[in-house]
Homo-oligomer: A and B are copies of this chain.
């Protein structure tokens, strides 16, 4: 199997990206193309014993500066690591692309290089999200701010295809995110999407969930528009930081508590580990003619490793072909309703 990594992406490139790729290549014996500034990548690679590993460097010198609008820069600088890396996949040299960092740039480059899959209304950005039972996948989390009900119905089917190998479940429970748990809840978008889903779905569709149920793990796939989804992800992160910071402040303000906190440190770390979602660090950009995973811009060595692992899993599970098939079935079956639906 052959993967491509944007070695220059994210806040800690190329140190952490290269380190993660070395770890992954060693454990899985897959090829990982490292795309970016050749000299910088080579310098990093020399820190490790890479004998027996296949880590070819592909030079892509056009760095996207911090002061540039990333989506614009990707369009203008054709030799940037994202576009060059994705082309390796498009031309059959590799099976999937793992990007790190700026979502806007990934979206632009992905659409430019791979184009949308036939029949897919819009590509959807998904992430795995921890809950009290384990994980669910949530999408769209930021690719599309203003959505149509029809798109959400398609995404439900696409996310279900992806959730199967990712969460290792046969028939994922699929729901829309709403402001209440009763059927019929939601804004007009979600209400109409519910009606369309009831008419035609090939899913284990369970209706709507509100955040409480979502965080209790009552659905495996939670579908929402990209504006709401993005805010939900960001708000969760912000609330988590706020709570942990508040706890830390209160613990440090009391001598006895400080001692307690020191004793409790391993438990704290374990909890933060569970919350940090490291093993499910990478999201997926679904609906393009190429497999694209998206790791967080703050990803370090271990998260890069797991992002590559997710990429490999998705390739192995043939998620792209299965999505294509699902969309074709859906389009075929739904055709008599389509006019009415849209």
Residue in A187, A188, A226 whose Cβ sees the most chain B Cβ within 10 Å: A187
A251 within 8 A of B: yes
A275 within 8 A of B: yes
A66 within 8 A of B: no
A240 to chain B, nearest CB (A): 6
Q: In the complex, what residue of chain B is closest to A256 when comparing beta carbons?
A: B263
Q: Which of A145-173 contact B (CB under 8 A)?
A: 145-146
Contact A214 B238 (CB under 8 A): yes
Contacting chain B: which of A77-85, A113-121, A241-249, A329-337?
Answer: A241-249
Report B-chain residues with C-beta under 8 Å of the C-beta of A260: 259-265, 267
CA distance A260 to B251 in the complex (A): 11
- Which of B237, B263, B275 makes the CB contact (< 8 A) with A257? B263
- Which of B145, B235, B241, B246 makes the CB contact (< 8 A) with A187? B145
- 14 A-B pairs within 8 Å (CB atoms) are namely A132-B245, A190-B227, A211-B237, A212-B234, A228-B231, A240-B243, A243-B244, A247-B268, A250-B270, A250-B274, A256-B263, A257-B264, A260-B262, A260-B265
A63 within 8 A of B: no
- Which of B142, B211, B236, B254 makes the CB contact (< 8 A) with A266? B254
Contact A186 B227 (CB under 8 A): yes
- Which of B130, B188, B268, B270 makes the CB contact (< 8 A) with A146? B188
A179 within 8 A of B: yes
A288 to chain B, nearest CB (A): 21
A215 within 8 A of B: yes
The main secondary structure of chain A at its interface with chain B is: helix
Contact B267 A257 (CB under 8 A): yes
Residue in A132, A228, A247, A265 whose Cβ sees the most chain B Cβ within 10 Å: A247
Q: In the complex, what residue of chain B is closest to A226 when comparing beta carbons?
A: B179
Report B-chain residues with C-beta under 8 Å of the C-beta of A211: 231, 234-235, 237-238
Report B-chain residues with C-beta under 8 Å of the C-beta of A187: 145-146, 225, 227
Residues of chain A at interface, number, CB under 8 A: 61
CA distance A215 to B259 in the complex (A): 29
Contact B145 A186 (CB under 8 A): yes
Report B-chain residues with C-beta under 8 Å of the C-beta of A179: 142, 145, 226-227, 230-231, 234
Contact B240 A267 (CB under 8 A): no
- Which of B142, B225, B271 makes the CB contact (< 8 A) with A247? B271
Known: A187-B225, A246-B271, A260-B263. 9 other contacts (CB 8 A): A145-B186, A179-B226, A210-B231, A239-B243, A246-B275, A247-B267, A256-B264, A257-B267, A260-B265
A181 to chain B, nearest CB (A): 10
Contact B234 A235 (CB under 8 A): no
CA distance A166 to B56 in the complex (A): 61
Q: In the complex, what residue of chain B is closest to A188 when comparing beta carbons?
A: B146
A342 within 8 A of B: no
Report B-chain residues with C-beta under 8 Å of the C-beta of A112: none
A74 within 8 A of B: no
